[in-house]
Copies of this chain bind each other. A is one copy, B any other.
Amino acid sequence: MDPQVRKQVLRKLTYGLYVAAAMDEFQAAADTVNWLSQASFQPPLVMMAVKKDSNLHALLECGAPVAINIPGADQKQLAESFFRPTQREGETLNGHRFRRGNTGAPILEAVPAALECRVAGSLPGGDHTIFALEVVDAHLHRDEPPLEMWDTGWFYGG
């Protein structure tokens, strides 16, 4: 297999962009991710691949609930701000206000929609772990189209 061709073909996959956010009493992690999809209707599950050496991974391994924040089409800058290490200051994460959802997971106030999830299982893959997440709550702040990876010029994959 030609690794360059593999990279080109893997970059034909279509993605959204999401800010996956979790916190416990010691730390918070809010990372922009794209390796995420629904994985079941009943129960409602999503699957998300998370980098093994990340703080988000550590929190999920410990069973922290996680919010999948779904930025709107015009929120590329918001997504970009979560490429940086997570800094909590008061009720903000990397400068964006959040509230704790019913599970305690941090929901960004600016995003149009978010899911709250609990870890239902995991599959150790390669440099990322695949988490199966049960959707236990959902929030629709505004009915807007979401941010798509193709519209940003960014890639994560290949």
Name A's B-contacting residues (CB within 8 A): 1-2, 5-6, 8-10, 12-17, 34-47, 49, 70, 112-115, 120-128, 130, 132, 135-140, 143, 146, 148-150, 157-158
* A41 and B6 in contact, given A16-B13, A49-B47, A149-B14 (Cβ under 8 angstroms): no
Contact across chains for A44 and B123 when beta carbons are under 8 A apart: no
Smallest CB gap from A136: residue in B? B1
Extra A-B contacts (15), CB below 8 Å, given A1-B137, A10-B115, A39-B49: A6-B135, A8-B113, A10-B46, A12-B16, A12-B70, A13-B70, A35-B37, A40-B126, A40-B127, A41-B126, A42-B127, A43-B126, A47-B130, A123-B132, A148-B150
Highest count of chain B CB atoms <10 Å: which of A136, A149, A150: A150
* A126 and B42 in contact, given A115-B10, A138-B1, A148-B150 (Cβ under 8 angstroms): yes
Contact across chains for B135 and A10 when beta carbons are under 8 A apart: yes
Residues of chain B within 8 A of A113, CB atoms compared: 8-9, 12
Contact across chains for A9 and B114 when beta carbons are under 8 A apart: yes
| Distance between A31 CB and nearest chain B CB, rounded to angstroms | 15
Residues of chain B within 8 A of A112, CB atoms compared: 12
